Every structure is written in C-alpha cells, then in structure tokens.
Amino acid sequence: MTAVKICGLCRAEDAALAADAGADYVGVILSPGFGRSRSVAEAAAIFAAAGGSARVGVFVDAGRDVVLDAAVRLGLDVVQLHGTEPPAEAGALRAGGRWQVWKALRPRTRDELLDGAAAYADVVDAILVDGFGGGAVGGTGARAPWDEVAAAARRFPARLRLVLAGGLGPGNVADAIERVRPAVVDVSSGVERVVGEKSAEKVRAFIAEARRAGGTTMRDTTSDTAE
C-alpha cells in the first residue's frame, strides 16, 4: 500500500491529528526562512505529539553539521533534502546515521527526472518528486507532471523509492496513486485550513482516499532505515 506523509507541520495538535488519522510519516521544515519553518525545539514538541509516525526533517541547503545535529536530537527517521545539495553531500548525510535520506527534485520533463534519479541513485533511499513552482523550493501546491513521473519511475533502480508530492489533495490523491504508483504520497498545503494550520477534515479525507486507492506500490516500503 502507498504510505502517506503529512508535511509542513507547525503545531503539535496537527501532528497528533495526522498520527490519529493514520499518517505513516510526519514532516517538519527545519530550515529557517520559510512560512512553515520551525526550530529544533519546536519540532521536538511536534514530533512528540505524533505517536509512532515516522519523523521526517526537511532541510534546504543546510550545513552538514546542522543536519546531523538536528537528526540526532530529534530522532529523525528520514532526512529530506529539498535544496541543491549535491550527491556527495547526500551520501555523506546518509552515512552519518541510520536514517533514510530522501532527495527532492522538481523536474519539468521525464528526462530531467531520469537524470536526477541517476545522479542520486547510489546515495539516497528515495527520490521525492515535487511540482515545479518557479523559484520556490516547495510548498507551492504546484502539481508534478504525473505521466512523466510514472514513465520515468519505471526505469528507476529497484531499490530507489518514489515519493510523490506537489499539488496533491483529497480530491486527486487516489487518481495520483492509481496513475503513478508511488511508494509514498506527500502533502502539505493541500490539507491546510490556512498556512501552518492543518484542516482535520482534509487530513482525514486525504488519508482515507489514499488508503482507498490501494494497490501495490512500485517500491518496497517496509524498511525505515538506510541500507
């Protein structure tokens, strides 16, 4: 079954909501300067409210020491890199602990995605495909090119998981899963009431629709640690 990640969490009560609704992963943005950014101290309280959901820290071109320190202090299960981090940096972070590393890409074409996946295939556990929103690094609600993503993902190495983000919401997540077959679907703005505050109705509907879509994913979702 496709796993679900609720990202951009800013409040402990929203983390508890996501966990109660069945989210497999919860994400907090740990780089400053974004509308949903949170400090390590704030993230600790958010993750503490998330029960057994896996913890994802989102970083944008942060220094290696900063990422490693936060990952250890917060007990992260996944380090998500959402900037221009090169493969060597992703590999070094992956070797720094038992967490997974996911690298976000914002491809406009199948070839862009294939080139990016090839560059990172040996040093990350998953490629997260986000929508291209101009100069923004994410959280714009821009939709990824599903058909291009699906075609490219069929050529990924078997061990490389696909995380689909960008423009997802309760009304289209089932269609996205059926067309793309990602290992994980990732939503932030698509389940918000206002920026930084999740809608309980939308979170529950998104997860219910993802579960309804069902099917077998293209990637193994059983391991929560790096190989």
Catalytic residues: 7, 130
Q: Using alpha carbons, select from 45, 89, 86, 37 the residue that is nearest to residue 65.
A: 89
Beta bridge partners of 187: 6
The half-sphere exposure of 47 on its side-chain side, counting CA atoms within 13 A, is 25
DSSP structure string for 27-93: EEE-SSSSTTB--HHHHHHHHHTTTTSEEEEEESS--HHHHHHHHHHHT-SEEEE-S---HHHHHHH
Closest by CA to 104, choosing from 79, 141, 140, is 79
Query: What is the H or E stretch that residue 197 is in?
Result: strand 197-198
